[in-house]
């Protein structure tokens, strides 16, 4: 029975670590930006390191590479990141752990929920730890190579997303098939007038990447680059209060439920240029300052 539970334990933990690793790798720059909230600029170097560790742990657990030791290593990692996040919450006022990278932007979790989740994963690891000691495995070398290979793939994706973020973002046309549906949903939230120009910023109050772009969004209002600059965020009263205290928004912000935001976009932040009654352009992941367009 314990061996059966051990298999379930390593499978669940392995999947959790792999999802976490590749979700972060998909937008590594956002995760690196989040790490900057903890201290000096060099903290961002930890992004690819953490992603690689999670990828190795996830694969090792799934393939049961020394399952007892892998489960212990997973618990040690969870304990370490939980301690770091606790410091961030208490000393820096950080609310979003960024544990699941880009996926974290579409749901809002209170800090205590993060600690409870990590504790539950620790409990899930117990069957693997209490199972019989790791025995000999004739496929150990092959499994180890596979784990390293997955880590390399995760780091490669991480490198691509980091590199893309350093390129100057450009406004690009929204695909026609998405434009109409998205506009219909936005019109249910705000009465857009046909002869006006709007900039709409879709974001989360607890998303580090969203916060980094907010100053640029406000500049569009300060420079009068549009008739109206509107923010639409995932509702979260506690995170909103902290956000407003720190950033003192000058634009109107409306909040919507998480599932409603997910029906509009699968990525945050998103900045839309709306002219008349249609979306003309979109910018994702980072919002360009209007200052670069000034002569």
Domains of the chain: 2-166 (no CATH), 176-293 (3.40.30.10)
- Strands across the sheet containing 252-256: 252-256, 228-234, 197-204, 270-275, 278-284
pLDDT tens-digit map of 68-127: 888 999 999 999 989 988 888 887 777 777 777 656 555 556 788 888 888 998 888 888
Can you tell me the distance from the alpha carbon of 103 to that of 24, in angstroms, rounded to the nearest whole number?
A: 8
Q: Does position 164 have pLDDT exceeding 70, yes or no?
A: no
pTM for the full model?
A: 0.57
Which value, to the nearest 10 degrees, does the dihedral of the CA atoms of residues 105, 106, 110, 113 take? Answer: -110
Cβ atoms 281, 171 nearer than 8 A: yes
* Cα–Cα–Cα angle for 46, 52, 55, rounded to 5 degrees: 140
At residue 42, the pLDDT reads 65
At residue 232, the pLDDT reads 93
At residue 167, the pLDDT reads 37
Helix 2-26 to helix 67-87 angle (10° resolution) is 50
At residue 173, the pLDDT reads 39
User: How are beta strands 278-284 and 197-204 bridged, if at all?
Assistant: unpaired
What is the pLDDT averaged over residues 211-228?
A: 87
Q: Does position 275 have pLDDT exceeding 80, yes or no?
A: yes
The token duo for 193 is 């007038």
pLDDT tens-digit map of 49-68: 888 888 888 888 888 888 88
| Mean pLDDT (the chain, rounded) | 79
* Cα–Cα–Cα angle for 154, 158, 162, rounded to 5 degrees: 175
Can you tell me the distance from the alpha carbon of 282 to that of 273, in angstroms, rounded to the nearest whole number?
A: 6
Show contacts of 178-182: CB within 8 Å, 24+ apart: 179/278, 179/279, 180/278, 182/264, 182/265, 182/272, 182/279
The token duo for 42 is 């060099």
pLDDT tens-digit map of 235-271: 888 889 988 998 899 999 999 988 888 788 777 888 8
Q: Which of 12-16, 170-174, 290-294 has the lowest mean pLDDT?
A: 170-174
Can you tell me the distance from the alpha carbon of 238 to that of 242, in angstroms, rounded to the nearest whole number?
A: 7
Predicted confidence band at 201 (pLDDT cuts at 50, 70, 90)?
very high
């Amino acid at each position: 029975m314990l061996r059966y539970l051990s298999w379930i334990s390593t499978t669940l933990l392995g999947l959790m670590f792999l999802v976490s690793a590749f979700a972060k790798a998909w937008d590594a720059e956002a995760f690196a930006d989040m790490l900057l909230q903890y201290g000096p600029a060099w903290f961002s170097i930890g992004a690819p390191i953490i992603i690689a560790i999670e990828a190795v742990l996830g694969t090792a657990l799934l393939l049961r590479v020394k399952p007892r030791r892998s489960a212990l290593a997973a618990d040690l990692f969870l304990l370490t990141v939980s301690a770091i996040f606790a410091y961030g919450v208490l000393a820096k006022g950080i609310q979003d752990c960024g544990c699941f990278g880009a996926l974290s932007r579409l749901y809002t979790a209170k800090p205590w929920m993060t600690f409870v989740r990590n504790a539950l994963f620790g409990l899930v690891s117990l069957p693997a730890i209490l199972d019989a000691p790791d025995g000999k495995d004739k496929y150990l070398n092959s499994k180890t190579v596979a784990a390293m290979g997955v880590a390399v793939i995760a780091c490669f994706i991480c490198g691509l997303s980091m590199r893309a973020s350093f390129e100057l973002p450009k406004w690009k046309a929204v695909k026609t098939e998405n434009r109409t549906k998205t506009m219909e949903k936005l019109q249910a939230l705000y009465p857009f007038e046909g002869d006006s120009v709007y900039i709409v910023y879709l974001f989360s109050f607890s998303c580090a990447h969203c916060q980094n772009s907010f100053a640029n969004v406000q500049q569009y209002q300060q420079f009068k680059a549009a008739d109206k600059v509107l923010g639409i965020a995932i509702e979260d009263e506690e995170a909103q209060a902290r956000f407003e205290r720190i950033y003192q928004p000058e634009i109107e912000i409306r909040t919507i439920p998480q599932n409603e935001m997910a029906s509009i976009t699968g990525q945050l932040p998103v900045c839309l240029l709306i002219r008349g009654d249609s979306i003309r352009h979109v910018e994702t992941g980072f919002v360009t300052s209007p200052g670069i367009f000034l002569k």
